[in-house]
Amino acid sequence: MKKAQKTVFTCQDCGYTTPKWMGKCPDCGQWHSMVEGKPKAASSGLKAPFDLSGPGSRPVPIDSVDGIVEDRLATGIMELDRVLGGGLVAGSMVLIGGDPGIGKSTLMLQVMQSLAYAGLKVLYVSGEESVRQIKLRSQRTGSPSPNLFVYSEIVLEQILDVLDQEKPQAVVLDSVQTLYSQDLTSAPGSVSQVREVTFKLAMHAKKTGIPTFLVGHVTKDGAIAGPRLLEHMVDTVLYFEGERNHIYRVLRAVKNRFGSTNEIGVFEMAEHGLMEVSNPSAVFLSERPEHASGSAVTASLEGSRPILLEIQALASTSSFASPRRTVLGLDSNKVALLVAVLEKKVGMPLMDQDVFMNVAGGVRVTEPAVDLAMVGAVASSFLDRPVPRDTVLMGEVGLTGEIRGVGQMETRIKEAAKMGFEQCLAPASSLRNLRTPSGMKVVGVKSVSQALEHLF
């Protein structure tokens, strides 16, 4: 009799495998994520698909390794080059994720067109669109270049053959969840397929030195779909942030082996694609209302770039037994913490107040240096007294109401002075040996009460 073929169930979020179906994954706790599939045949030995080190390689002293820094390949889009750390590195693999319709494919096509205009041979591989659809989209973002080659395919082995034949100088694969390897029997987008495809592409990029972009889908929680291992296998992970109804998009680096992490680039969605925003501070403050309560400006440091942002707050009497705390662009837990500090340490009766907070422009901020601006905006709205228009607030707020120091204060103050601000409320501990620009008055504060007394 023919022996029954065994199957395993694999979690599509973390990659956990089990011989029987489970409603909840015991490893990551996700419900209804188990998918049935055939187990991968065991190999007699572990062997990489590409030999990266050569035969007979041995460990060598680190001081004997050639440390010459290779020239980076500029993409022609300055905001993207900033996020990548100065440009593309040969053989690097960049994973870019974001919500559907945020502009991932548009940005990648613009990058390929820019490189093609510079005389480089580039390849755009799509598993979601036909070559005709790519051509129509390229006409909207600019005139097509003959150096840009397009290819519609989802079989990994055929894509690798085309890469070996065409030898492009940069490649985009859109998206990794649509590709599959013929060595596995599971469906495209499964954990095993995504892991296998990414591994083989990464090895090919290291072997040939071709910079490779991977476009990835995201889950409802905003994380890149597939196993968490996917982000560890690539060199750089970029997230496209923003709301569909906002015209601004933020490209954030959360991992970068060749540059600074948490660097951001700002783009504006226009009729002909994504346009770079060279001065984000001016854009985010362009529609700031005059003499309005509940508005405060702070300087957030994103990577190496200081950006001035407007923090807005609205405190109104609640009609519910439990007041609401609605937050956009900020950490809701931090907002609840700061409201509690105002109640306990300042004596501001916010227990019966609904508090709504927002960052103008659709930007998300998690840096502690914006705490003082959040406190100032809530107090301004509650007292119905505006924060002075020429004042910028910076500092971390502790649970005892103290104002703690923040890093790179001089860089933040210079950005504020460049934008026309004349006064800065900053932690007193951060003012030692601080060189302030001409025309800027820096006031050191030690507590929330002292800061509010100076403002109001």
Q: pLDDT category, 231, cuts 50, 70, 90? A: confident
Give 366-385 pLDDT, tens digit per residue. Answer: 889 999 999 999 999 999 99
105 is in an annotated binding site: yes
Give 309-337 pLDDT, tens digit per residue. Answer: 999 999 999 888 889 999 998 999 999 99
Q: What is the dihedral of CA 145, 148, 153, 155, to 10 degrees?
A: 180
* 207 token code pair: 């072997």
| Per-residue confidence (pLDDT) for residue 445, from 0 to 100 | 94
405 is in an annotated binding site: no
| Per-residue confidence (pLDDT) for residue 46, from 0 to 100 | 41
Give 12-60 pLDDT, tens digit per residue. Answer: 777 788 888 888 888 888 888 888 877 655 443 444 444 455 555 688 8
Average pLDDT over residues 219-227: 65
104 is in an annotated binding site: yes
Instruction: Answer whether 0.75 is exceeded by the pTM.
Output: yes
List all residues 6 or more positions away from 352 whose beta carbon is below 8 Å from its beta carbon.
317, 318, 323
Where do the structural domains in the chain lie, given as residue ranges? 1-38, 73-278, 283-455
Q: Are 224 and 202 in contact (CB under 8 A)?
A: no
103 is in an annotated binding site: yes
Instruction: Using the predicted structure, report yes or no on whether residue 2 has a pLDDT greater than 70.
Output: no
Beta carbons within 10 angstroms of residue 177's beta carbon: 22
| Per-residue confidence (pLDDT) for residue 331, from 0 to 100 | 93
Instruction: Give the length of the chain.
Output: 456
Strand residue runs (E) in 112-217: 122-126, 148-152, 170-174, 212-216
| Per-residue confidence (pLDDT) for residue 48, from 0 to 100 | 46
Give 262-279 pLDDT, tens digit per residue. Answer: 788 889 888 888 899 888
Q: Which residue has the higher pLDDT, 84 or 12?
A: 84
207 is in an annotated binding site: no
**Topology of 283-455 in CATH?**
Ribosomal Protein S5; domain 2 (3.30.230)
Mean of per-residue pLDDT scores for the chain: 86
Q: Are 357 and 365 in contact (CB under 8 A)?
A: no
Please give the full DSSP string across 269-327, using - where no structure is assigned: EETTEEEE-S-HHHHHTTTPPSS-TTEEEEEEEETTEEEEEEEEEEEEE-SSSS--EEE
Give 341-363 pLDDT, tens digit per residue. Answer: 999 999 999 999 999 999 988 78
221 is in an annotated binding site: no
Q: What CATH number does domain 73-278 carry, 3.40.50.300, 3.30.930.10, 3.40.50.620, 1.10.8.60?
A: 3.40.50.300
62 is in an annotated binding site: no
Give 142-196 pLDDT, tens digit per residue. Answer: 878 899 999 999 999 999 999 999 999 999 999 898 998 988 877 788 888 888 8
Beta carbons within 10 angstroms of residue 195's beta carbon: 18
Instruction: Using the predicted structure, report yes or no on whether residue 303 has a pLDDT greater than 80.
Output: no
